[in-house]
Structure 1
C-alpha cells in the first residue's frame, strides 16, 4: 500500500530474505515447489496452508505482512517474484497487469462470483486474478444481553447512541459504540457503508479518474457520520481515546470488558471474538443500519485475489485449482472463511453465521466492493497516508467539537487533493 518506489530498506531486506528462503525451500527433494506470497498471518495463514496441502505439487507459502505491495515490488526488483500472490486490493491487479508483471489466469468451471466483482480483475479484456476469499463488511456486533432491541435504521442507531451516550456520561452504563479509529480502514468502512446507502451510483463513480470528491453525495455521507460520531459519550473514553484504539481492542471492549455495547466491522471479527470473549454468550450481528425505511442497504464486501506472476512455474495452474469448489473445503469446515464462489453449496459452511452471510452476498443488486481498495496509488490508504489518514482527521474534528460543516469542508478538500495527487479526481 506504499507508493511506488518507496519500499523501505527493512522491506527490501525482508523480501530478499523471503525470496532466498523460498528458493531454498523450492529446491529440496528435487521437486520445485510453487511459491505463494500471502497477506494473511496467524490462523488465516495456518488455514491456507491446510488448503494448499491438498494441491498435487508442493506449495511453499510466505506471509508478506500488511504491506504486500512493497514486499512484491522489492521481490520484483530482486528478480525473485513468487509464482502466486494473494492480494487484498483489486487496484494492484490492474497496476501489475499494465506493468506486464502478471500472467493471464482462468477459473475452473466450478467458479462464479457475484455480479460486479469479476470485472474488477479484467484488464484490456484479459483476466489477471480470481477471488479466493471474501469479507462481509456491513455488520454490527453486539451481545444480546446488552442490547435486546438492536437498531434497524440509521435514525434508530442515532437515537440509541444518544440515549446510551447520556447513560454512559452519568457512569451508569457502557458507551454505545466501540470504534478502532487508530486503524484508518475501520473509518473508511463506515464511510463506504453510509455512502453506498445514500448514493450507490455515486459510490461507483468515485472509482473513476474523474471522480468528484467534493460533490453532494460525499458531503452528505460525511455529514451523516458527523451526526453520529459527534454524540457526546458515544465512545469509551471519548474521541481522542478512540483514535488510539485499534480494531482488535474495539472488539474486546464489547465482548470482554463490556465497555461498549456495539462494534461495527466485518465477518472476520468472529476470529477476535473467539480469542477474547468472556463467558459463553455468543455475540449477535445485524446488517449495517440503512437510511431507507426497510433498514437494509447495499452490502459492502472486501476480498482477497490470487494472481500468477509472469515467468513463474506452476502459478497459473495453482490459481485455477484455487477456484475449484472443493479446494477451500478444509477452511470451510474449520470456520473463519467466507467464499466469494457462489457455486459453493451453502450446506458446506459449518458455521451458521457465515452460511447466512454467504447467502446475503448472493442477493442481486445490493453488493458494492470496498471503495478504498479500488482507489489508485497512495490514495487507497495505509497507516498515516491516503484516505485512511483523511478519515482519521475528520473523526478527530467531529469528536473534538469542530462544527460539522467545517469538518466536512476540510475533509472533502483533502480528499480532492489526494485524488488529484494520485492522478485523477477533483
Structure 2
C-alpha cells in the first residue's frame, strides 16, 4: 500500500477491521479481562489495564499522525506527563522545563522537586541563549507553542543541543496538534498530548497520549503506564478515536476563526497586547511560519486588569468561561485564576502571566458571530478601563 496522507490515516484508523461481523466502525471493547486459549497461552490481550483493543487502535492512530513508532494512551494529559517523567528521568535526575509551562505541568514538576524526586531548572526555551543551559540535563521538556503566551521553541535546535548534552527531548504538542506540528520530525524523542483537547475535540473525554520515536522507548513507556495504572479506558479511547477522524477539518475551521479574531484584537483600543504566532510582530513568527503548518487556534490577549476582564467575560454568548481548550466550541479562560492558579504570583509574573490576560480557544462556529460577540465584550472592557467603547470612537 502506498503511504497515505495523515488526513486519510486519521479517517481510516481502525475502519473495516472487525473480523467477526464486518463492522465498518471498529467496536468498543469494554471487557476488563480476556480468556487464555490454554494454560500459559495468553492472547494479544489479557487484562485491560495492560492492553485493550480499542485503546491500541487509538494509540496507533495518534502515533501514525505524529510519525512515531508507537504510542500509549493514558487516562488524562497529566497521567501522560507523569508516566513520561517517571519513565525517562533517572533517580535524582535533572529536568529542564519551560518557565511558562502549563500550570498543571509546573505543579507536578515543582512537587516532584520538593519531594526530592528530581532537580528542576526552569528556562525560557524559546530563547536561543537558553540552549547553553542544557548541560547536566537528563530530560528537556518543551511546550511549544507555550501556554498561555504562545512562545514558540525551535525544536530542532533545542533537540540538537539536548542530545549533545546527553538529554532526551519531550515535546508537549497539545496546543498545535499533529495537524500543525510534528515534533518528532524535528528531532524530539517523545511527544505528549492532553488528548482531552484537539485530538478528541468535543470536550466530552479526559484522555492523554504519549508517542515515541523508537519502539524500545514505546515499550518502556507502556511498561510504566501499566505499572502506574494510568492507562485510559476503552470508551474514552473510542470517543477520542471518533473525534480524531475530524481533526483536520476542525483545525482548519478553528484557525480561520483565530485569524478573524486576531484582526479584531489588534485593532481594538481595549487590548494592550496580543500573543499569536501568526502576527508578524510575534517574536518567533518567522520560526513558526517555517516549522509549523499553520499558527494554531489559541489566541491570548491582555486588557490591562481584572475589572476589564470581568466586564468582557460577563455577557459573552459565543464563548464559555471555562477551563480546557481544543473543542468545537469556543472558550475563554483567565490563566491567572484558572489554568495557572497553582503558580504563586511571583512565578506567574516571571512567566509573563498578568491579571488582565485572557486566553481564547477558537472553535468552529461562524467567524462573524464570534467577532461580534467578542467586539461587544471588548467594548465593555474599554468602558471599564475608563475609555469610550470602540463603537463610540468610530462614530
Structure ranking higher in helix proportion: 1
TM-score by structure 2 length?
A: 0.31
TM-score by structure 1 length?
A: 0.29
Asked which structure has the greater RCO (Cα within 8 Å, sep 6+), the reply is: 1
